[in-house]
Structure 1
């Protein structure tokens, strides 16, 4: 295709893109279905990019160049595009666009190469299984779907701490067909003005706040059950936050100067240097393994 469409632009926002598919499927760790729907419908503006986020984006673009060189060392005989490649697939029944970090080619073969940055592999979403997180897998598979390049895609993770890693993402026809059906239904919901249900994510909460910025000096009757749930949960939240803070303090004290806390060979948490002090990051995904160990 000709004419590069800038990701994040108003034109880009109206299109189905691989980066939006995780939210459309409800598997995104970063954005809710409700939020994406209202952004695409134009009822709320996407959250402004903070200075820290822009710094992360700038680092990510710089890391792409290093990741590309690393990938080429690992794939002798292959060539990479110099920059991002944008593609459309005329067979898809909705307006869409794929922006792919790099196009790999060797002879007639083509392959998607996507780059992600993270503080470490755990922050990226690898809990030690070596598997690609569902949201990133959905994004890359959609890139394969739109591009028509069905060879295994390569997802290069460039961590700030540790060695880069290349994950393979195989193409799956059944999953691709499900993505097409879900995206078509999503576009129809936009036409019909039917948003997804609310959920308990932070982005959904922030979107509801943005949808109702004004305050009218009136009262409104709400469901009694909803009122009880809200007030009971808020009371429990304060108790749980205090208990969690106490447990966190004990873990930090037990760790001393250590970087990682473990039970057996299972990670519990790790200490990282924050902007002003040391921060503790829990390995919550490992809870079931630790519970089994303790049983």
Structure 2
């Protein structure tokens, strides 16, 4: 048992991720990794997929390569942060809940806690991201919104005023650091949403199906078997909604395929017309350029902003 304390946190234990004790502590509680899906801020989980997992209707997906990479690199990123910040002592956090018995459903499982003079003053979340596209300038609070929700949840659970996020970005392994301050308004809103969500599980009130990728995958996981002799009859009411949307999708896909074929033909015509020219232009605007890699065969690169002939003709007149 730890001797550490936080303003509003109660320590439960320190268990390996995925262990029976770890799962038991999280059962029927809202965690930092779940809250973004509940409030609609996650690209990895939806309200529906989170509900089905917490209600025991589906099992969580096995660890993917990105998650495995983050797990194995966590210690190295923590060591880097510690070397950059000798003013802090880093300790593995373990599992905490809110100390208020009426809020003991609120759980935090941070990566590290930051200590000064033996006292917890903040926390550290550790991430890895191959692309880094959603991360802003280092030193700011510009982090992906689902991670922002996660660390706000940790601060709200433990009663801390700020949190650090250390991330290893890109194939060049660039270390970045971000600082997040506690936002009481956002935290109160997430807490309200989480309470309603947990009540909906207790009352077996499943959220509606939406178009989120995680929802679609969860629906597929809920019905893994196929009975070739069973037929589902669509009602007229549902047909009025479903069939036009499905038809519109098929038309859009066919139009996109036809548009791609037309574009490929035009690209070939333009390449042929350009001959040895490096650039093609319409009026004063560049349209495309020919380029090659390492002396290879030239290919066509179309500019992102193409001129509109009709508008230019009107302007010339």
Class of the TM-score when normalised by the shorter of the 2 chains: 0.7 to 0.9
- Distance in 1 (CA, whole Å) between partners of 2:96 and 2:146 is 20
**1:230 alignment partner in structure 2:** 246
TM-score by length of 1: 0.74
Contact 2:93 2:110 in 1 (8 A): yes
Query: CA distance change for structure 1 residues 41 and 228 in 2, over 3 Å: closer, same or farther?
Result: same
The Cα of 1:43 is off from its aligned counterpart by 1.3
Specify the SS of the correspondent of 2:71. Answer: helix
Task: Find the partner of 1:218 among 231, 250, 257.
Answer: 231
- Distance in 2 (CA, whole Å) between partners of 1:113 and 1:242 is 51
The within-5 A match list for 1:172-183 is 172-183=183-194
The within-5 A match list for 1:74-223 is 74-81=84-91, 83-91=92-100, 93=103, 95-107=105-117, 108-122=119-133, 125-126=134-135, 131-150=142-161, 152-162=162-172, 163-213=174-224, 214-215=226-227, 217-222=230-235, 223=238
- Distance in 2 (CA, whole Å) between partners of 1:66 and 1:8 is 21
**Unaligned residue ranges in structure 1 (runs of 5+):** 255-289
Contact 2:29 2:105 in 1 (8 A): yes
Query: CA distance change for structure 1 residues 170 and 41 in 2, over 3 Å: closer, same or farther?
Result: same
TM-score by length of 2: 0.69
Q: Does 1:68 find its partner at 2:78?
A: yes
The within-5 A match list for 1:272-287 is none
- Distance in 2 (CA, whole Å) between partners of 1:66 and 1:21 is 27
**Unaligned residue ranges in structure 2 (runs of 5+):** 1-10, 272-303, 312-317
Q: Which has the higher Rg, Structure 1 or Structure 2?
A: 2
Specify the SS of the correspondent of 1:209. Answer: helix
The Cα of 1:236 is off from its aligned counterpart by 1.1
**1:21 alignment partner in structure 2:** 35
**2:47 alignment partner in structure 1:** 33
CA deviation digits over 1:154-194, x for unaligned, max 9?
11111242421101111001111111111111101101111
